[in-house]
């Protein structure tokens, strides 16, 4: 990659708040900002709700663009929420996430395969701001498979 990539923030959550909760109230599992995460090839992120979720799962980890977070804050006038409300694991700056669908790439020595957009859902309207689901279409993040073990560290 020619452009410098920065890991701005990292998050894990022990349980599902929205996944599998269609037409039900959300869960109450916290999203925890952490200084580093351990990625395990083919399994996910240690301590996260999708660790060992399914064999060969296409969403072992999720990426979200810092640039999208900033755009959303500006667009909706939100100043009191972190990128953690989007429930993605790895918040990066300098990566074109949609361009990585179907592509192997590396961040801090850890290899990933982009599998698909981490599409926004109706819960985004409650978690961030009314209208967030529509505003995030095409930029909701990236679901990935983890191809090698390694540790990612937040650089702030």
**Which CATH class for the 6-153 domain?**
mainly beta
Model pLDDT, residue 94: 97
Q: Cite the DSSP H helix spans in 26-120.
A: 66-76
Model pLDDT, residue 36: 98
Name the stretches of the chain with pLDDT < 70: 1-3, 15-29
Q: By CB neighbour count within 10 A (0-12 exposed, 13-18 middle, 19+ buried), where does 3 fall? A: exposed
- What ranges do the domains of the chain cover? 6-153
Model pLDDT, residue 14: 82
Q: Which helix (H) or strand (E) holds 104?
A: strand 104-107
Model pLDDT, residue 68: 98
Q: By CB neighbour count within 10 A (0-12 exposed, 13-18 middle, 19+ buried), where does 96 fall? A: exposed
Model pLDDT, residue 22: 54
Model pLDDT, residue 30: 76
Measured over the CA atoms of residue 105, residue 47, residue 138 and residue 71, the dihedral's sign is: negative
Q: What angle do CA 101, 106, 110 make, to 5 degrees?
A: 120
The pTM (predicted TM-score) of the whole model is 0.90
52 alpha-carbon distance from chain centroid: 17
């Amino acid at each position: 990659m020619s452009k410098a990539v920065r890991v701005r923030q990292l998050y894990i959550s022990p349980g599902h708040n929205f996944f599998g909760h269609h037409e039900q109230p959300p869960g109450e599992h916290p999203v925890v900002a952490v200084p580093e995460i351990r990625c395990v090839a083919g399994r996910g992120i240690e301590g996260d709700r999708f660790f060992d979720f399914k064999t060969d799962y296409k969403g072992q980890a999720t990426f979200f663009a810092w640039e999208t977070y900033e755009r959303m804050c500006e667009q909706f006038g939100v100043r009191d929420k972190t990128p953690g409300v989007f429930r993605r694991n790895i918040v990066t700056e300098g990566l074109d996430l949609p361009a990585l669908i179907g592509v192997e790439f590396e961040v801090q020595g850890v290899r990933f395969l982009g599998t698909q957009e981490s599409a926004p859902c109706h819960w985004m309207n409650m978690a961030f701001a009314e209208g967030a689901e529509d505003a995030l279409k095409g930029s909701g993040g990236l679901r990935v498979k983890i191809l090698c073990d390694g540790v990612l560290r937040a650089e702030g």
